Amino acid sequence: DAGVIQSPRHEVTEMGQEVTLRCKPISGHDYLFWYRQTMMRGLELLIYFNNNVPIDDSGMPEDRFSAKMPNASFSTLKIQPSEPRDSAVYFCASSLLGDTNYGYTFGSGTRLTVV
Amino acid sequence: RKEVEQDPGPFNVPEGATVAFNCTYSNSASQSFFWYRQDCRKEPKLLMSVYSSGNEDGRFTAQLNRASQYISLLIRDSKLSDSATYLCVVIYGNQFYFGTGTSLTVIP
């Protein structure tokens, strides 16, 4: 298995532009999570899906952020318009929560810089 | 109060030393516990699960104390390659709660 795949690995964009981050979870995993990590706040859960349905989006900072999971093998996190304070590493993770002995598997992350 | 609390460190220890980290959690009904390791500019990776009876994996020992609501990670005979940030994770309901991580640097 290739693990959780995220793209792009790095993104540099100008303030006000739309940014789309992509994630392919591990095949068969029924939970998908989007996290943001900064030095100041550590890992923050933004939103998570169960069987492609958003369950909890209370961590999404504001309306500029949106996430979708159109099918079991793909999810997107969109920021529109982007702001410099959105600069962070965004991780996607997937899990088969019925087997909690194995925890999460994270993707390599997208390092976003908004200038 | 945060769901999961960790001492951020940093812990700077000499090679060969034994070091221990604790992580406290607030919800007594938490079900599952893990330790993750995160290297600089990399994603967190599962280090080990934490079982009620305690468990060991080579130089690493994880323990759970439900009465006092904390988990611990003990690293024996520290290696330079153990330098990383160690994150504890607590599961309650469908939620994974991450600590902010403890930074470890093993010095030659």
Per CB-CB distance under 8 Å, the chain B contacts of A42 are 98-101
- pLDDT score at A100: 55
Interface contacts A/B by beta carbons within 8 Å: 50
CB contact A108 to B (< 8 Å) = yes
Please state, in angstroms and rounded to a whole number, the distance separating the CA atoms of residues B31 and A27.
25
Can you give the pLDDT at residue A1?
Answer: 63
Cβ within 8 Å, pair A103-B34 = yes
Substitution target from B35, B41, B43 for chain A, most A beta carbons within 10 A: B43
Within 13 Å and on the Cβ side, how many CA atoms surround A40? 4
Mean per-residue pLDDT, A43-63: 91
Summarize pLDDT for B9-40 with one digit per residue, the tens. 899 999 999 999 999 999 988 888 999 999 99
Q: Which two tokens stand for residue A54?
A: 């958003």
- Peptide bond between residue A8 and the one before it cis (omega within 30 degrees of 0): yes
In chain B, residues with a C-beta closer than 8 Å to the C-beta of A91 are: 43-44
- DSSP-derived secondary structure for B11-33: EEEETT--EEEEEEES-TT--EE
Residues of B in contact with A55 (CB under 8 A): 94
Average pLDDT, chain A: 92
Out of A48, A50, A100, the one facing B32 most closely (by C-beta) is A100
Q: How far apart are CA B107 and CA B15, in angstroms?
A: 6
CA distance B104 to B47: 14
| Whether B25 contacts B1, CB under 8 Å | no
Mean of the per-residue pLDDT values for chain B? 92
